[in-house]
Structure 1
């Protein structure tokens, strides 16, 4: 009889949002972060981990203390009453990724690193590119990548080049996990800027959207076509969107700005190497994939997804420390976030709320 021990069973919440250089000052993030009593995690519990990516954050509003962007401070303020600790953040001009976890998970996080790759102007400018956070999470190697790729309908070739430049140039120090796709789990999200192929007018696309003919439109989606051909993102999986295109809206409304054809620019993909360790099963079952139409700050809608992240061992009891030795080696590794700094950070959030 096969017996199974659970090393980890987490709910991970991912969010991507192009905020169009707007300040978070007037935004109530409770609904966006599922803090209003209605989550998509099992048993309606709060997520164990939040990983949030922004694009087009304003580069003129960074608070100099701790070098954190106002959006990170805003998220910290929303989460501070729920026992969450900031794990890490990384910013490349307007591209930002930040990670928060419930305090109880911090001892199970090691080898935390962040990285950035510029792709704008052939890699000279950071207005496009990617930022990422990688770590050992309950013994497994996990990479979270937030990217902003080249814009406009006619820049498909540039988007493909951006993707490959990120894959080639993103490098970490962790033994065995030097590159993004060395990781056991990869979550890649952001304003990927993929549009619809073909010559449909913006008005015709809007008509199909209004009639919820999403499946027909997604047959023209550049990201889907590229993945099928193996040109880019083919190592990743995506649950097909069952929501309206998230770009381009008239700011402050839910009306499309038909200067651009509506498109699913904002995406969340993932990859799991499920059976690469003897007796260990890794899984990341997607629980939700949705846009948030109530948020009208920019010309993009936020998009979120939740995943059930599980690590199971068959026929023996594994600890995540033993799994870490198997995956990352037994060498000394960077420790978890400095909780005393996190407490100070929380105090800063309270003091800064009037500025947000």
Structure 2
């Protein structure tokens, strides 16, 4: 930041995605998963300002109970409340789940919160595949967080591409100027995207390449990388290429690959920022980390996390986030604020 700029917001956001294979959290310790053990990758190793957690294949037994959160949300809430976080919002579509937690001090700067869902399973009739999202005005800027679970299996690339476009087309919000996902200033997309490797390498050969650290060679065959390059899917988003081993498919309870499937980077986190959308305002999202956590062996997927700085700077002018909100969202909020009920539940 220079002498001619003022900082409206400088946040650290921690994103996590994990396909838990219908398992319950039970007594699973979450400190390492949430980087509460001193390894957050945030500046000065501070705790994140905001957590956004996306999950796939959570058990659907709880879905019919509309009066109680999923056990995973309750487990995350219990862990994070010890560090003064509150739940902002959550959304579940069968086994697909997204939830957001924030430090108390940021609550007044979150407005116009909405959730959305898109079903893509069985031609859009079933929610075992699809996406859920949370969008909001965050310090005056439009931010959306999307968690998706796309079509599985090696031969289903076209279905994954179709799922992506169906989600983009069908996700619609009610806030003026931010009706669609890519209308937002900041977009974060995470989940079990299920992209596999092209070509005919055997599972044995892929595993051998992984064991010898030949990630760069394998990523040249990665469907998501190729689809972004060709513009077929996710081309509006950026991804820092993984430097960790493929996160699927493991033998549950171990760190050994189950070679019934070729190892693949199914679990991914991407982002997009429209840096210069407004006069005299600069937006940035610098990725600070991207990693898997091999410590967790609950399912056949490894959890993947990423940390981002979320920065809003005003050039040669001084804005409050309220003034920026009026500029970006209009003077009147169109969506009710859920925080009173949410905060009461944590007091």
User: Normalising TM by the smaller chain, what interval?
Assistant: over 0.9
2:99 match: 98
SS at match of 1:67: coil
Q: What displacement does 1:336 show?
A: 4.0
CA distance in 2, matches of 1:236, 1:79: 29
1:273 match: 274
TM-score (norm 1): 0.95
Could you say if the C-alpha distance between residues 18 and 140 of structure 1 is closer, same or farther in structure 2, counting changes exceeding 3 Å? same
1:353 match: none
CA distance in 1, matches of 2:15, 2:47: 13
CA distance in 2, matches of 1:198, 1:242: 21
Q: What displacement does 1:340 show?
A: 5.1
Q: What displacement does 1:335 show?
A: 5.0
SS at match of 1:73: helix
1:149 match: 150
Equivalent pair of 1:284/1:308 in contact (CA under 8 Å): yes
Pairing of 1:327-346 with structure 2 (within 5 A):
327-334=328-335, 336-339=337-340, 341-344=342-345, 346=346
CA distance in 2, matches of 1:51, 1:332: 23
CA distance in 2, matches of 1:103, 1:38: 22
1:354 match: none
Q: Structure 1: 5+ residue runs without aligned partners?
A: 348-356
Could you say if the C-alpha distance between residues 41 and 128 of structure 1 is closer, same or farther in structure 2, counting changes exceeding 3 Å? same
SS at match of 2:61: coil
SS at match of 1:60: helix
SS at match of 1:82: coil
1:24 match: 25
Partner deviation per Cα, 1:145-204 (whole Å, 9 max, x = no partner): 000000000000000000000000000001000000000000001000000000000000
1:67 match: 68
1:251 match: 252
Q: What displacement does 1:81 show?
A: 1.3
CA distance in 2, matches of 1:338, 1:224: 39
1:191 match: 192
Q: What displacement does 1:266 show?
A: 0.1
Aligned residues: 346
Q: What displacement does 1:40 show?
A: 0.7
2:264 match: 263
Equivalent pair of 1:13/1:304 in contact (CA under 8 Å): yes
Runs of 4+, deviation exceeding 2 Å: 61-67, 332-344
Q: Structure 2: 5+ residue runs without aligned partners?
A: none
2:67 aligned with 1:86: no
